[in-house]
Homo-oligomer: A and B are copies of this chain.
Amino acid sequence: MKALEEKIVKQGTCIGSEVLKVDTFINHGIDTKFLDDMGKEIARIFAGDEPTKILTAEASGIAIAVAAANHLNYIPVVFAKKNKPNTMGLDVYESSAKSFTKGSIFTLRVTKELISKDDRILIVDDFLAHGQAALALYDIATQAGAKVVGCTAVIEKKYQGGSERVRKLGVHVQSLAVIEKMEDGKITFE
């Protein structure tokens, strides 16, 4: 998505070769018109996979997940929780993953009643980097007996291998902006 690449170059900040900060328009401040455009593009890419539900992880995945759902005939969104709220029952699917940026392990949890075996799941997130969150969401969906039909992110850092890991599971993976490398503050897109 050309407009996204331009926005990343203009407003993003590289922190070393691993971290890209896009706080001004995606995951702290949100440019809602642009978000809607990105949702429309995700819908265009994945409509043919006929998803029935979008699965994402709190917090930064929620906005783009809802934007995509709006353009896929308002299919439901489920966001996995990172902290176990005291309102969450015991009937949950959970899967743990490592955060490379934070250097810690996190656990994603979804209440069982929110995913069924008949669901065709589209995984949506802000970033697809090492793929840990996406693989945990894939794990949760398959625990529920659902089929994961697609996986997308606003920004994919291809060189960190996540997209390849998810693709190997037979999932249609396509992100809106795919970064080949970040070096000396310069971003090279695929």
Contacts A35-B66, A62-B63 hold; do A77 and B19 have CB atoms under 8 A apart? no
Question: How far, in Å, is A157 (CB) from chain B's closest CB?
Answer: 14
Checking B28, B69, B70 against A79 with a beta-carbon cut-off of 8 angstroms, the contacting residue is B28
Of B21, B30, B69, which one neighbours A77 at CB under 8 angstroms?
B30
Interface of A is mostly: mixed
Q: Which residues from chain B contact A85 at a C-beta distance below 8 Å?
A: 101
Q: What separation, in Å, do the CA atoms of A70 and B63 have in the docked complex? A: 12
CB pair A24 B63 closer than 8 Å? no
> Hey, what's the 0/1 contact readout for A1-28 against B, CB within 8 Å counting as 1?
0000000000000010001010110001
Are B113 and A101 in contact, with the CB atoms below 8 A?
A: no
Q: Which residue of B lies closest to A114 (CB)?
A: B29
Question: Residues of B contacting A59 with CB < 8 Å?
Answer: 58-59, 62, 79
A30 to B78 CA separation, bound complex (whole angstroms):
6
Binary interface profile of A, 84-106, with partner B (CB < 8 Å = 1, else 0)? Answer: 01111000000000000110000
Complex CA distance for A168 and B12, rounded to whole angstroms: 40
User: Which residues of chain B are within 8 angstroms of A33 by Cβ–Cβ distance?
Assistant: 74
Choose among B21, B28, B35, B69 the residue that contacts A114 (Cβ–Cβ < 8 A): B28
Contacts of A77 in B (CB 8 A): 29-30, 32, 63
Which of the listed residues A29, A32, A81 has the most CB atoms from chain B within 10 Å of its own CB? A32
Task: Compute how far the CA of A81 lies from the CA of B69 in the bound complex, rounded to whole angstroms.
Answer: 24
5 residue pairs bridging A and B, Cβ less than 8 Å apart: A19-B86, A19-B87, A29-B114, A32-B75, A66-B66
- Other than the given A23-B87, A23-B88, A59-B79, 20 more pairs (CB < 8 A) read A19-B86, A28-B78, A29-B76, A29-B78, A29-B111, A30-B76, A30-B77, A30-B78, A30-B79, A32-B66, A32-B74, A36-B70, A36-B74, A58-B58, A59-B59, A59-B62, A62-B63, A63-B66, A63-B77, A86-B101
